[in-house]
C-alpha cells in the first residue's frame, strides 16, 4: 500500500528559505535571519502557491496590459542583503519607498522593534491597500502605509534614521537627503550608466559616501522623479526593444532599419564569460560611454537571430534575446560571440550601418577594460555631491552628472 505524499508545511518551507539565506547568501546578521523565520512570506503573496512563496525569486504582483510588471515582491536573497546593508537597530525610524506587498516593511518592523517605526509608501492606491491589509492581517502595528510619490519622501514623519528604496532610482531625490538624519544611512538600487547597484550610502558632511554595493535589477521608480532610462519598443515596428539612458543620436526607426540590414563582424581579440559582461563590462561602458545601449529581439526576430544572442530576459508571452553595445549617428556596434554554447567564449563585435569608427572605439574601450583587470561593478566607490557643488575629483575618477546630484565613481 503506497503512502500518500504529504506536502511540506509552510513552516518547513520557511525554514528552508532561512537556511538557504544563511548558507548560500552568507547573511551574517542573525537578527535578519530571525525576521525571515518569524514573518510568513506566504501571507503577503497570497496569489501564488506556498511552494512558490518560499522560493528565492521575485514574484510579480502587478502588471500592465502589455504584460510588463510594475510591482513585485522582491527576491528574498536581495531583500536580506539590502537589509544587512541598511543596518537597522531597535528604535530606528525607517522610510521605505515602494511598499509592494508589505512584506519588507514587516521584516523591518521586526528588526526595529516595538519602539521603532516604519513608514512605507507607494505610488498606486491598490498596492497601498493590499499592503495595509497584509500587515493588519499579520498583526503588525508599527508600520504606516501611505500613498504618495516616493520622490517626495514623507516630510511630516522626518527625519529618518534609515531610508530604503525597493525600486530603482536614476538619481537621489533631494527629499531623501533632506529627510535623512545626520549620519543616517540610505540604501537604494542606483542606476550607474544603465546597470544598477544596490548601494548603501552613509551621510557625511555635505555628501553621501558608499559603504557597500551589490549588482541588482529592480523595476524603475515611477512618477515625477523617474529617470530618463527606458526599456521599450525600438521605433514604430515590432520585433526589437532598446534599453538606454542618454538620448539617442538618431531616431528609433533608423536604428531599427540598421538592424534589419547587412552587418559585419570582427574579433575583439579576447575571451570573456557572460558574467563578465553583466557584472563588470556594463558598468565600464556605462561610465565612459553615453552611447551605451542594450538591444533585445522578440518573437520571430529572436528566433532568426537578427542580433547577437548574449543576454536573455523574459516577460509574459515573450522571450527576449539580445546584447549590448554602442550607438552613434553613423551606426551601431554590438557585442557578439563565436560559439552559442561555450562560456567563456571568444568575444566578437557585430556592426550595422557605417560603424567602422564606432567599432574601433568599442575595441579601445574593451582593451582598456581588460588592461584594468576587468573590475567588478560592486567594487565601485561612489561619492554623491549636490549638482552645483565644486569638488576636487580624485585621479582616475569619473564624474557622472545626474538631475540633482553628481556621482564621483572610482575603483580602488
Residues 184-233 have pLDDT tens digits of 999 999 999 999 999 999 999 889 999 999 999 888 888 889 999 888 88
Same domain, yes or no, for 270 and 307?
A: yes
> What is the enclosing helix (H) or strand (E) of 254?
helix 252-260
Residue 384 domain-assigned (yes or no): no
Parallel/antiparallel/unpaired status of strands 230-233 and 117-122: unpaired
- pLDDT-derived band of residue 164, with 50, 70 and 90 as boundaries? very high
- pLDDT-derived band of residue 68, with 50, 70 and 90 as boundaries? low
pLDDT score recorded for residue 157: 97
pLDDT score recorded for residue 1: 41
Single residue among 165, 190, 216 that ends a domain in this structure:
216
Same domain, yes or no, for 196 and 310?
A: no
CA 65, CA 68: separation in Å to the nearest integer? 7
Same domain, yes or no, for 269 and 315?
A: yes
CB neighbour class for 205 (10 Å; exposed up to 12, middle 13-18, buried from 19)? exposed
Same domain, yes or no, for 263 and 315?
A: yes
Region label for 374, one of left (φ > 0), alpha (ψ between -120 and 50) or beta (otherwise): left
Only one residue has cell 491589509, namely 133
Same domain, yes or no, for 305 and 344?
A: yes
Task: Kindly give, in sequence order, each residue whose CB lies less than 8 Å from that of residue 19, ignoring residues fewer than 6 positions away.
Answer: none
Residue 387 domain-assigned (yes or no): no
pLDDT in tens, 270-291: 999 999 999 999 999 999 999 9
pLDDT at residue 21 greater than cutoff 70: yes
Same domain, yes or no, for 289 and 339?
A: yes
Residue 389 domain-assigned (yes or no): no
pLDDT at residue 3 greater than cutoff 80: no
- pLDDT-derived band of residue 255, with 50, 70 and 90 as boundaries? very high
Same domain, yes or no, for 204 and 241?
A: no
Active site residues: 71
pLDDT score recorded for residue 316: 46
Same domain, yes or no, for 198 and 238?
A: no
User: How much of the chain exceeds pLDDT 70, in percent?
Assistant: 92
> What is the enclosing helix (H) or strand (E) of 165?
strand 160-165
Average pLDDT over residues 25-53: 94
- pLDDT-derived band of residue 26, with 50, 70 and 90 as boundaries? confident
Single residue among 182, 216, 250 that ends a domain in this structure:
216
CA 140, CA 109: separation in Å to the nearest integer? 8
Cell of 59: 514574484
Residue 224 domain-assigned (yes or no): no
Average pLDDT over residues 14-41: 94
Residue 5 domain-assigned (yes or no): no
Same domain, yes or no, for 26 and 83?
A: yes
Would you say how long the chain is, in residues?
412
Residue 53 domain-assigned (yes or no): yes
CA 236, CA 238: separation in Å to the nearest integer? 7
| CATH number for the domain that contains residue 200 | 3.40.50.150
CA 290, CA 94: separation in Å to the nearest integer? 35
Average pLDDT over residues 39-61: 91
pLDDT score recorded for residue 62: 60
**Count of domains for the chain:** 2
Task: Kindly give, in sequence order, each residue whose CB lies less than 8 Å from that of residue 49, ignoring residues fewer than 6 positions away.
Answer: none
Among 269, 333, 344, CA closest to 295: 333
Residue 127 domain-assigned (yes or no): yes
Structural domain of 239: 230-371
Same domain, yes or no, for 288 and 333?
A: yes
pLDDT in tens, 340-384: 778 899 999 999 999 999 999 999 999 999 999 999 999 999 999
pLDDT score recorded for residue 319: 65
CA 163, CA 179: separation in Å to the nearest integer? 9
CA 115, CA 278: separation in Å to the nearest integer? 41
Q: How far is CA 369 from the centre of its chain?
A: 22
Alpha carbon separation from 333 to 111, 124, 355, 361 (Å, rounded): 48, 39, 7, 10
pLDDT at residue 302 greater than cutoff 70: no
pLDDT at residue 314 greater than cutoff 60: no
Same domain, yes or no, for 162 and 80?
A: yes
Single residue among 216, 242, 277 that ends a domain in this structure:
216
What is the pLDDT of the chain when averaged over all its residues? 91
pLDDT score recorded for residue 303: 62
Average pLDDT over residues 40-67: 83
Residue 3 domain-assigned (yes or no): no
Same domain, yes or no, for 159 and 297?
A: no
pLDDT score recorded for residue 2: 46
Amino acid at each position: 500500500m503506497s503512502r500518500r505524499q504529504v506536502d511540506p508545511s509552510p513552516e518547513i518551507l520557511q525554514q528552508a528559505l532561512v537556511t538557504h539565506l544563511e548558507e548560500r547568501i552568507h547573511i551574517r546578521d542573525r537578527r535578519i535571519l530571525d525576521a525571515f523565520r518569524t514573518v510568513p512570506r506566504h501571507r503577503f503573496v497570497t496569489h501564488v502557491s506556498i511552494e512558490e512563496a518560499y522560493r528565492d525569486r521575485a514574484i510579480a504582483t502587478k502588471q500592465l496590459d502589455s504584460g510588463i510588471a510594475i510591482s513585485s515582491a522582491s527576491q528574498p536573497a536581495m531583500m536580506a542583503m539590502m537589509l544587512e546593508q541598511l543596518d537597522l537597530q531597535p528604535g530606528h525610524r525607517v522610510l521605505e519607498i515602494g511598499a509592494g506587498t508589505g512584506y519588507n516593511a514587516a521584516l523591518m518592523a521586526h528588526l526595529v522593534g516595538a519602539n521603532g517605526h516604519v513608514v512605507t509608501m507607494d505610488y498606486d492606491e491598490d498596492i497601498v491597500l493590499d499592503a495595509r491589509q497584509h500587515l493588519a492581517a499579520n498583526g503588525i502595528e508599527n508600520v504606516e502605509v501611505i500613498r504618495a510619490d516616493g520622490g517626495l519622501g514623507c516630510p511630516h514623519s522626518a527625519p529618518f534614521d534609515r531610508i530604503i528604496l525597493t525600486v530603482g532610482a536614476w538619481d537621489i531625490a533631494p527629499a531623501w537627503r533632506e529627510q535623512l538624519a545626520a549620519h543616517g544611512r540610505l540604501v537604494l538600487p542606483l542606476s550607474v550608466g544603465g546597470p544598477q547597484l544596490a548601494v548603501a550610502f552613509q551621510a557625511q558632511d555635505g555628501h553621501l559616501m558608499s559603504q557597500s554595493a551589490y549588482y541588482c535589477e529592480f523595476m524603475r521608480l515611477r512618477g515625477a522623479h523617474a529617470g530618463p532610462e527606458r526599456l521599450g519598443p525600438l521605433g514604430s515596428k515590432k520585433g526589437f526593444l532598446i534599453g538606454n539612458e542618454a538620448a539617442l543620436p538618431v531616431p528609433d526607426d533608423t536604428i531599427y532599419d540598421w538592424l534589419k540590414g547587412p552587418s559585419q563582424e570582427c574579433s575583439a581579440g579576447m575571451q570573456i564569460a557572460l558574467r563578465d559582461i553583466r557584472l563588470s563590462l556594463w558598468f565600464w561602458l556605462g561610465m565612459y560611454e553615453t552611447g551605451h545601449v542594450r538591444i533585445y529581439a522578440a518573437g520571430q526576430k529572436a528566433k532568426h537571430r537578427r542580433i547577437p544572442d548574449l543576454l536573455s530576459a523574459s516577460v509574459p508571452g515573450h522571450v527576449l534575446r539580445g546584447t549590448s553595445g554602442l550607438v552613434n549617428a553613423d551606426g551601431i556596434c554590438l557585442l557578439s560571440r563565436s560559439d552559442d554554447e561555450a562560456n567563456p567564449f571568444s568575444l566578437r563585435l557585430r556592426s550595422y550601418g557605417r560603424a567602422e569608427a564606432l567599432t574601433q572605439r568599442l575595441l579601445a574601450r574593451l582593451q582598456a577594460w581588460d588592461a584594468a583587470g576587468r573590475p567588478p561593478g560592486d567594487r565601485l566607490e561612489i561619492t554623491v555631491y549636490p549638482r552645483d557643488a565644486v569638488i576636487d575629483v580624485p585621479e582616475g575618477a569619473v564624474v557622472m552628472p545626474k538631475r540633482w546630484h553628481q556621482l564621483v565613481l572610482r575603483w580602488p
